[in-house]
Amino acid sequence: MEKIIVRGGQRLKGTVKVEGAKNAVLPVIAATLLASKGKCEILDVPELSDVYTINEVLRYLNADVEFENNRIIVDATRELHTEAPFEYVRKMRASVLVMGSLLARNGKAQIALPGGCAIGSRPIDQHLKGFEAMGAKVKVGNGYIDAEVDGRLQGAKIYLDFPSVGATENIMMAATLAEGTTIMENVAKEPEIVDLANFLNSMGAKVRGAGTGTLRIEGVSELHGCQHNIIPDRIEAGTFMVAAAITGGDVIVEGAVPEHSSSLIAKMEEMGVKFEEVENGLRVIGPEKLKSIDIKTMPHPGFPTDMQSQMMSLLLAAEGTSMITETVFENRFMHVEEFRRMNGDIKIEGRSVVINGPSKLQGAEVAATDLRAAAALTLAGLIADGYTRVTELKHLDRGYVNFHNKLAALGADIERISSMEQEQTIILEQIKEA
């Protein structure tokens, strides 16, 4: 079983470069299915397992996909198939994002029901409500969602009950080829929504209002290929900001876009972390003592749920009592038990956790419960006494490229092992040291 083994105590220093954003590239790849003419070229693509999975979904749907050197070329000009089966959707929920494109291109889509996951039940009712408003007939049965429209989708007025990122993206993609204008209200405002809208517009779509609460999409009759650079990953950037802060380090996070991380930066500044804008990124300087704060996760521009577990690591190191309230996902505290195994003083109270810091963290074997938890437990390991072993790295690989190597380059004492033999060598070293 693969593990990350990290020994705490090193102050991080140096420069780390962030990759293209996972949550931007997945919808952009799904949107390439809309191009019935020409190829799409996507640059700054991170080499993540999720990217390989969505590429497989596209190939299954009869598109050609080449992926090399952080560049993807998609040719989706042939007639497309209409089904995304469970074997892909189970691996990665974002596979449902092909539904809007398929409905718009083919008038038909069959997608396996995604089901729940480690962070909550994650229904897709808002996606389906949007497709129905545009004239699709949606049936759910035998583990599949079947959506079909007679002729073209029709522009509609759609109000989302919650600013869901996935529903905003899926409906926006479908609306680009609809007849007439679609107005979407209470939509998500994440930077990844803006990136997708920019990509669609480069393909010939007419999407206005991305980044605000209302989107206006004038349908066009066809879309073509184009070239697009993916925005930097604000969650990976934020994870390295926390790595710098938790170790009292001094790190330049190259590619970090301050406006994409303003809530995170504001909360870390409240804790005493210093930020300096530098060319191409942000310098992050950790203080000697971190102050406790309260956090509530919210849709953008509120505090991102995808940084909640990493901030939990940081708050474990802060002086005093902090509270984190999770409002986006109903079950995103699975990592709390793992932090407790490291001697973290955390209590769950409904949708909040109370953290009494600073905890004297101890190395332990801990299991990642989702991709951000994998990163967060590794961050805690950077300051824990002794060795921390993080398992279930398949989660980490969904969202981070070369995480351990990037931390090692900043001075962390960390390695990733893939065999019992390697682990035994490390245990022998530990025994010798003790």
Ligand X SMILES: CC(=O)N[C@H]1[C@@H](OP(=O)(O)OP(=O)(O)OC[C@H]2O[C@@H](n3ccc(=O)[nH]c3=O)[C@H](O)[C@@H]2O)O[C@H](CO)[C@@H](O)[C@@H]1O
Which residues fall in the annotated binding site?
A: 22-23, 93, 122-126, 306, 328
User: Could you say whether residue 93 binds ligand PEP (CB under 6 A)?
Assistant: yes
CA dihedral 426, 428, 430, 434 (to 10 degrees): 180
Binding mask 57-96 for ligand X (x = CB under 6 A): -------------------------------------x--
Quote the least distance from Cβ 195 to ligand X, whole Å. Answer: 11
Find the binding residues for ligand PEP in span 21-80 (CB under 6 A): 23
Q: For the CB of residue 282, give the shortest distance to ligand X in the complex, in Å.
A: 21
Strand partners, 348: 353
The nearest distance, CB 332 to ligand PEP, in angstroms, is 8
399 binds, among ligand X, ligand PEP, none (CB under 5 to 8 A by kind): ligand PEP
57 binds, among ligand PEP, ligand X, none (CB under 5 to 8 A by kind): none
Report the b/e string of 370-397 with b at 16+ CB within 10 A: bbbbbbbbbbbbbbbebbbbbbbbebbb
Integer Cα distance of 107 and 103 in angstroms: 4
Residues 6 or more apart in contact with residue 294 via CB below 8 angstroms? 322, 323, 324, 325
Q: How far apart are the first and last CA of the chain?
A: 25
Among candidate residues 362, 365, 331, 332, the one with its CA nearest the CA of residue 345: 362
329 binds ligand X (CB under 6 A): yes
The torsion angles phi and psi of 105, rounded to 5 degrees, stand at: -80, -45
- The verdict on 125 binding ligand X (CB under 6 A) reads yes
Kindly state the number of chain residues that form the binding site for ligand PEP, as judged by CB under 6 A: 8
Q: Of 15, 69, 68, 45, which is closest to residue 255 (Cα–Cα)?
A: 15
Pairing, β 320-325 against β 3-7 = unpaired
Q: Which of 150, 223, 152, 155 is nearest to 184 (CA)?
A: 155
Shortest spacing between CB 163 and ligand X, in angstroms:
7
Q: Which residues contact 33 (CB under 8 A, 6 or more apart)?
A: 58, 61, 63, 74, 76, 80, 98, 101, 102, 105
236 binds ligand PEP (CB under 6 A): no
Q: Which is nearer to ligand PEP, 53 or 101 (CB)?
A: 53
Is residue 306 a contact point for ligand PEP (CB under 6 A)?
Answer: yes
The catalytically annotated residue of 117, 220, 354, 426 is 117
Should residue 127 be labelled a site residue for ligand X when binding is judged by CB under 6 A? yes
Contacts of 89 (CB under 8 A, 6+ apart): 95, 96, 111, 112, 113, 114
- Shortest Å, Cβ 383 to ligand X: 26
Q: Does 320 bind ligand X (CB under 6 A)?
A: no
Annotated binding site for phosphoenolpyruvate, which residues?
A: 22-23
- What is the DSSP code (8-state) at residue 179? B
Interface with ligand PEP (CB under 6 A), residue from 399, 403, 404, 406 = 399
Binds 372, which of ligand PEP, ligand X, none (CB < 5 to 8 A, cut-off by type)? ligand PEP
The answer to whether 257 and 217 have CB atoms below 8 angstroms apart is no
Segment 290 to 309, residues that bind ligand X, using CB under 6 A: 305-306
Catalytic residue list contains 226: no
Query: Which residues fall within 8 angstroms of residue 196, CB to CB, at 6 or more apart?
Result: 24, 27, 28, 31, 169, 172, 173, 210
Q: Enumerate residues 98-137 that contact ligand PEP by CB under 6 A.
A: 119
Tokens of 207: 């999407």
Q: What share of the chain is helix, strand, coil (3-state, %, to 5)?
A: 35, 30, 35
* CB of residue 370 to ligand PEP, shortest distance in Å: 6
Least CB distance to ligand PEP at residue 401 (A): 14
124 binds, among ligand X, ligand PEP, none (CB under 5 to 8 A by kind): ligand X
Does 371 bind ligand PEP (CB under 6 A)? Our answer is yes
Q: Binds 371, which of ligand X, ligand PEP, none (CB < 5 to 8 A, cut-off by type)?
A: ligand PEP
CB atoms within 10 A of CB 221: 9
Considering only residues 167, 172, 223, 361, which one is a binding residue for ligand X as defined by CB under 6 A?
Answer: 167
- Asked whether the beta carbons of 107 and 152 are under 8 A apart, the reply is yes
Contacting residues toward ligand X, per CB under 6 A: 23, 26, 94, 120, 122-127, 162, 164-167, 305-306, 328-329
Active site residues: 117
Binding footprint of ligand PEP on the chain (CB under 6 A): 23, 93-94, 119, 306, 371-372, 399
